[in-house]
Amino acid sequence: MFPARRAFLFLQGPRSPFFNQLGQRLHDDGHKVIKVNFSTGDQAAWHGKLTETFRDPWPMLGEYITDLWRRHGITDQVAFDDCRLAHKEVIPAARRRGIRSHILESGYFQPYWITLEREGANGHSLLPRDPEWYHSVGPTIPRALPPRPFRQAFAMRAMHDVSYRMAQLANPLLFWHTRSHTRLPGEISYRRRTRLFIDLSRRQTASRCRELIGDGRPFYLFPLQPDSDSRIRCHSPYANNWEALERVVSSFARFAPGRTRLVIVDRADAVPANYMRRLRDLAVKSDIGDRLIVVSGGDPNALIEHASGLVTINGDEGLMALENECPTLALGNAIYRMPGLTSPSSLDDFWRHPIGPDRRLFRSFTNVVIYATQINGGFFSRNGIDLAVINAVPHLTNNVSPIEHLLWNSRLPVVS
C-alpha cells in the first residue's frame, strides 16, 4: 500500500515548463518532489527547491539513482520518454524495488491529448495486444468526452526549444560526462523560416495531393517518422527511416500491381536531404520511376481517405488510417498492431491484399486507450500545460492507475 503523501523523483522532462509546474503542484499538495538534472537544459527548466545533479559517467547512474531512492524514500518516478539514456535502465530497476514509474509521452491521439502511463509507453505499454480483450472491456467504458481544445502556438514551442538549446551550450563545462540525449519525437523543424514560404509550400502540397487523388490511379502511403523518434530506435527492427524505406520501396517494386503508386509522406519536413537523393537512386534501381512520389509537409488525412492502404513503422498516422478504415500495416511494435486492426499479411502480400480494420474493434480500442492512457493537455502552450498539470495529478497520486484497474478486473497480469 502506498502512503497518502508520496515522494516523487522527477527525471528528464519535455523542453518546456511542464515538469516545473507539475512538480510545484505536487509539492503544494503536500508531496515530496525531487528533481535530478542531467544537463544545463534541465537546470534552466526546473525551479523547484529539492534538486540533485548527476555529473558522473553514465555507467554510474544506477548506483547514483539507487542512493537517491534510499535517501529520499522515493515511492514514484516521473519521466518523459522511457527510451532516453537517463531512463532506460532506471525504470526497470525501480519496478524491481516496488517504486512506480509514470511515463509521459506525446499523445497517442492528437492534438489535445498527452500520454501518461504506468511503467512504460509505446512498445513498453501495459496495453494488451489481444483483440478479444478490447472487445470485452471496450463496451464497458463510457465514451470519452471531447478534449478541451487549446491554442498550440508554434512560436511558444520554438521559444522553449531555443531556450533549452541555448542552455545546453554550457554542458561541456558543467556536465562534461553527460552525453546529449536524443532529440525529442516530433522535434521542431526550423526550415520554413518565413510565412510566405510556409504558405507557398502548403499550396504546393495541397495541389500535389489533389493531383494524386484526382487522376484515379490507386496509391499506397508510407509516412516517414523523424530518425530521432524513439519509436523507431526502441520499438522497431530498424535503426532509422532509411532501413525501412529501402525495405518498403523494394517490396513495392517487386509485388505491387503495376498501376499503383507509392507516396512517401514527409509530414514533419524533417527528413535529411540526402534521403531524397538516395530515394531517386532507389527508384531508378528498382525500375519504378514516377510510381514513387514524395510529398513534403501537409496533413496526410486527405490522402488517407483515398489511399488503398498505409504502411507505417509505428507512427501516429497508423491511428489516423485506422480511424478512416484504411487498410494499415505496422512494421514496428505499435500499440495498435494486433489482429483485427492492422493487416495480418506480410509486407509483400499487403500491396495486393490490403485488409481493413474491424470498425467495432477500433471503437473499443479507442475507448480503452483514451480512458486508460490519455489526459487532456499539452506540453508547450500555457493553456495546454495548465490542463495537463490539472489532469495528471490524479493519475500520479491514485494507488491504481486506470490501465491497472482494467487489467486487474480482467484477471490479466499487472506490473505494479
Could you tell me the sign of the dihedral formed by the alpha carbons of 298, 299, 301, 302, in that order? negative
Nearest to 328 by CA among 95, 314, 225: 314
Q: Give per-residue pLDDT as tens, 135-180.
A: 999 999 988 889 999 987 766 666 766 666 665 666 665 665 555 5
Question: For the residues 67-83, what does the mean pLDDT come to?
Answer: 97
Q: What does the block give as the cell for 365? A: 480500442
Q: Determine the 3-state secondary structure of 111 from DSSP.
A: coil
How long is the chain? Answer: 416
d(C-alpha 134, C-alpha 127), whole Å: 10
Q: Facing residues of 78 across strands?
A: 10, 102
DSSP per residue, 360-373: HHHHHHHHHHHHHH
Query: For residue 235, what pLDDT band results from cuts at 50, 70 and 90?
Result: very high
The answer to whether the CB of 392 falls within 8 A of the CB of 26 is no
Q: What pLDDT is recorded for position 244? A: 94
The answer to whether the CB of 16 falls within 8 A of the CB of 90 is no
Helix (H) or strand (E) holding 156: helix 154-168
Question: For the residues 216-222, what does the mean pLDDT come to?
Answer: 94
Q: What pLDDT is recorded for position 208? A: 77
Nearest to 15 by CA among 168, 150, 191: 168
Q: 390 φ, ψ to 5°?
A: -60, -45
Task: Catalogue all structural domains in the chain, each as residue range(s) with its CATH number.
Answer: 7-154+365-409 (3.40.50), 195-358 (3.40.50)
d(C-alpha 249, C-alpha 286), whole Å: 8
Q: At what angle do helices 359-373 and 402-409 cross, to 10 degrees?
A: 120
State the DSSP code for 146. Answer: P
- For the chain, the average pLDDT equals 87
Torsion of CA 298, 109, 188, 15, to 10 degrees: 170
The answer to whether the CB of 83 falls within 8 A of the CB of 234 is yes
Question: For the residues 55-82, what does the mean pLDDT come to?
Answer: 96
pTM of the model: 0.89
Instruction: Please count the other Cβ atoms lying within 10 Å of the Cβ belonging to residue 408.
Output: 12
Is it true that the peptide bond before 111 is cis, omega within 30 degrees of 0?
A: yes
Q: What does the block give as the cell for 149? A: 481544445
Question: Is residue 300 left, alpha or beta, with left meaning phi > 0 and alpha meaning psi from -120 to 50?
Answer: alpha
Say which range, 41-55, 175-189, 212-226, 239-253, has the weakest mean pLDDT.
175-189
Q: 173 φ, ψ to 5°?
A: -90, -40
Q: Is the pLDDT of residue 279 over 50?
A: yes
d(C-alpha 221, C-alpha 324), whole Å: 14
Q: What does the block give as the cell for 353? A: 491484399
d(C-alpha 140, C-alpha 368), whole Å: 9
d(C-alpha 282, C-alpha 202), whole Å: 27
DSSP per residue, 330-379: E-S--TT-SBTTB--S-HHHHTTS-----HHHHHHHHHHHHHHHEEE--S
Q: Give per-residue pLDDT as tens, 392-408.
A: 999 999 999 999 999 98
Determine the distance from the C-alpha atom of residue 195 to the mean position of all C-alpha atoms in its chain, rounded to a whole number: 28
- The residues, ordered by sequence, that sit 6+ positions from 60 with a Cβ below 8 Å of its Cβ are none
Of 47-51, 55-59, 201-205, 381-385, the range with the highest mean pLDDT is 381-385
Beta strand segments in 240-330, E? 261-266, 292-296, 309-312, 328-330
- Bigger pLDDT: 275 vs 92: 92
Instruction: Please count the other Cβ atoms lying within 10 Å of the Cβ belonging to residue 172.
Output: 10
- The residues, ordered by sequence, that sit 6+ positions from 351 with a Cβ below 8 Å of its Cβ are 220, 251, 252, 255, 256, 257, 260, 309
